[in-house]
A and B are shown apart, each in its own frame.
Chain A
């Protein structure tokens, strides 16, 4: 090469060396001893040294220790000629201690003998590239990490799922809708049916085959659910019974969901299955118990209520409770929302007692009357209890109500029957005491005069003795009359009496009886005034009718003052179907409270009876005779004073008096 060429080459080298795109450096072959011979500005800038500083250093000085070995290795290969150049990524340590990544390209410079003398390095800063690379590697690692983690979570989740379905005894399956058969069944699924997984997939794999395990009564229900599902889609939830191959009945709950492909077609169904036999049995028992309780409540007519003391309104009332009042529960709660409104249902006379009972913390059963929807009165028994919170404030109240109307009515009836029986018993005792009195009175005279006569037989004259016998005879007659009257009354009361009914002129009959009295008992001390406007005819037993008239006239005469008048009237009533006969005297009359009593056996009115004889049975007998003629008899006081005994009988025998006539 001539001088010009050499100079040109040198210039060219210098120009290339000093370009600013990449770092360039020149050093001796031995990397340990050879300092940099020449460095360009770009290389200095990369490492943060000035050119002077860098020329004082070796390649090793600016390489991190982990680069040294590789640097030697490559260097050796270059020196030995095994390599003419090489390129690799290499780190340098900058003056400020930071590391930069570079791509270096090294070539050996040989002398004319072919011996390597210098090494020229071309250095490219690839720090940015390295960073990007590192980031890429990093994200790949992250992705792998995520996948690993997800896989592990999935495995964990599957494990948990399996554990959960095992604990919950949930069987699960997958159904292929395209081939319409079961393509997967879990162990639990098979266990629930009492078969093996293999049997599920080979023997009971479709609807038709699987149906043999379903209780015959539930097959239709399942089929219609399937059809519904095919039509409508969506999830399903169904409960049915199965019969395992060994004959055991189990209750099953099955739920399933469709799996849809990306074109919206149902390709699979996944379902779970649970054996709910114990639950179903419990539910059945509970339902049965509830039904029994309800029936018991209905039978006992027992209702309950639940009240909110804070809001002051009913929380609930049972149907039975509402029914007691004639409402439905819904109706009841609409009308009687509060306790105050509810009080309208309580009988007004019992409201105070009910209010008082509610003040008690716990009512021990209060009986009171209610007013039902239809206005009728019922009886209930109520138990109630207040519920307090921890602070002692009233929060709620609960209670039961039982319809005891029938019981109360039965008790009232029993009470009434008891009272009637007791009254009858008292009447019987009174009758016996009275009868004993009435029998003893004439007997006393008979015995006494017999005794007196016997004792004085020698001492008294025959006339006196004759008087004693007269007394005995008279008392005997009284006794006989009494016994006859008693027997007559007994016969009349028993209804065993034969009446000889004939259509009779009552005016004539009454006239006859009055004349009889006039002759026998009346020595002009009493006047008779008989008013009978027209001929009054009625169907009567004339002997019995005369007996009644004798009793009434006898009483009237007996109690009349001297010179008094006994007035008798006989009238046909305005309706024309009955006859009224009245006997009035001018005696003291009858006390108000004895008007009924005088018709009882052996009762003689305090005021009217003078003890002038009589059995005390006359009016009792008269009442029986009038009753046998379907009539009625009563006592009153006449407006002008004195007693008025009146009876009414139908004109035609056998006809009843109208209720207006009998009600007095």
Chain B
């Protein structure tokens, strides 16, 4: 366990249709954060509304409602629009990255990602949220 992790408390919603990729995120983050996993866009929307995470790690390519649509939904949701959203995708072209950021993603991370770098970015993003916000 990371030594700094105890200092950061946050709720993270993990979204990926691929069970193995979802397992990677769970393995990485569940010890340090309060995580919850969704296997589809639909599930992500209902869990986000219920769980009210501080951060959503969102896969882009999913059948049915894809990651972009979930992001758009979050950004238009009156209570959820301020949530940090990291897009994670195996689609790694510049066009994909630009599209994700243009839609309001805070980060666009391509698979395979550097697990240390991801951990660091998550910590930075979550510490920028005030403690009051975090415990809401």
Contacts and interface: CB of A to CB of B under 8 A. Distances in A.
Given A609-B63, A611-B63, A452 B18 contact: no
27 contacts: A437-B61, A440-B92, A440-B112, A441-B18, A442-B20, A443-B111, A443-B112, A444-B21, A444-B90, A445-B20, A447-B112, A448-B112, A448-B113, A449-B24, A452-B28, A455-B115, A471-B20, A474-B20, A475-B20, A606-B64, A607-B64, A609-B63, A610-B40, A610-B64, A611-B18, A611-B40, A611-B62
Contact of A440 (B1, B20, B111): B111
A440 B90 contact: yes
A451 interface: yes
B23 to A, nearest CB: 6
Interface string A595-622: 0000000001111111100000000000
Q: Shortest 3 CB-CB distances between A and B: which pairs?
A: A611-B17, A440-B90, A609-B63
Contact of B21 (A438, A445, A604): A445
Contacts, number: 79
A53 B23 CA distance: 181
Contacts of A449: 23-24, 27
Contacts of B45: none
Contacts of B113: 444, 448
Contacts of A4: none
Contacts of B63: 604-611
Contacts of B4: none
A436 interface: yes
Contacts of B112: 440, 443-444, 446-448
A146 interface: no
Nearest to A438: B90
Interface string A276-300: 0000000000000000000000000
B3 interface: no
Nearest to A611: B17
A310 B1 CA distance: 100
Contacts of A446: 112
Contact of A451 (B21, B62, B115): B115
B128 interface: no
Contacts of B92: 436, 440
A445 B24 contact: yes
B97 to A, nearest CB: 13
With most chain A CB atoms within 10 A of its CB, the pick from B63, B93, B113 is B63
B39 interface: yes
A609 B23 CA distance: 20
A87 to B, nearest CB: 150
B91 interface: yes
A18 B21 CA distance: 181
Instruction: Count chain B CB atoms within 10 A of each CB in A439, A446, A447, A608 and give the residue with the most.
Output: A447
Contact of A444 (B61, B62, B93, B111): B111
Interface in B76-132: 89-93, 110-113, 115
A444 B113 CA distance: 7
A445 B23 contact: yes
A309 B91 CA distance: 68
Contacts of B115: 448, 451-452, 455
Given A445-B21, A446-B112, A448-B112, 18 more contacts: A433-B93, A438-B90, A439-B90, A447-B112, A448-B24, A448-B28, A448-B113, A449-B23, A451-B115, A452-B24, A452-B28, A452-B115, A471-B24, A475-B20, A478-B20, A607-B64, A608-B63, A611-B63
A441 B24 contact: no
A496 to B, nearest CB: 30
A438 B24 CA distance: 17
Interface of B is mostly: loop
Nearest to B39: A611
Contact of A452 (B1, B27, B89): B27
Contact of A437 (B1, B28, B64, B90): B90
Q: Please tell me the size bucket of the interface on A.
A: 20 to 34
Interface of A is mostly: helix
Interface in B32-84: 39-40, 61-64
Interface in A572-630: 604-611
A459 interface: yes
Contact of B91 (A437, A452, A604, A608): A437
A451 B39 CA distance: 23
Contacts of B27: 448-449, 452, 468
A409 to B, nearest CB: 37
Interface in A607-655: 607-611
A451 B27 CA distance: 11
Contact of A471 (B23, B39, B61, B91): B23
Given A441-B21, A449-B24, A611-B17, A436 B40 contact: no
Nearest to B27: A452
Contacts of A440: 90, 92, 110-112
Contacts of A447: 112
B37 to A, nearest CB: 13
A626 to B, nearest CB: 24
Interface in A203-226: none
A444 B24 contact: yes
Contacts of A452: 24, 27-28, 115
A438 B93 CA distance: 14
Nearest to A441: B90
Contacts of B20: 441-442, 445, 471, 474-475, 478
A241 B112 CA distance: 97
Given A448-B112, A452-B28, A611-B39, A459 B1 contact: yes
B57 to A, nearest CB: 13
Contacts of B64: 606-607, 609-610
A433 B93 CA distance: 8
A474 B18 CA distance: 12
B43 to A, nearest CB: 11
A448 B109 CA distance: 14
A210 to B, nearest CB: 95
Contacts of A441: 18, 20-21, 90, 111
A455 B64 CA distance: 35
Interface string B4-26: 00000000000001101101100
Nearest to B91: A437
Nearest to A448: B24
Contacts of A471: 20, 23-24
Nearest to B65: A606
Contacts of A443: 111-112
Nearest to B66: A606
Nearest to B18: A441
Contacts of A468: 27
A603 to B, nearest CB: 11
Contacts of A478: 20
Interface string A477-493: 01000000000000000
Nearest to B22: A445
Contacts of B62: 611
Interface string A419-454: 000000000000001001111111111111101100
A474 B111 CA distance: 17
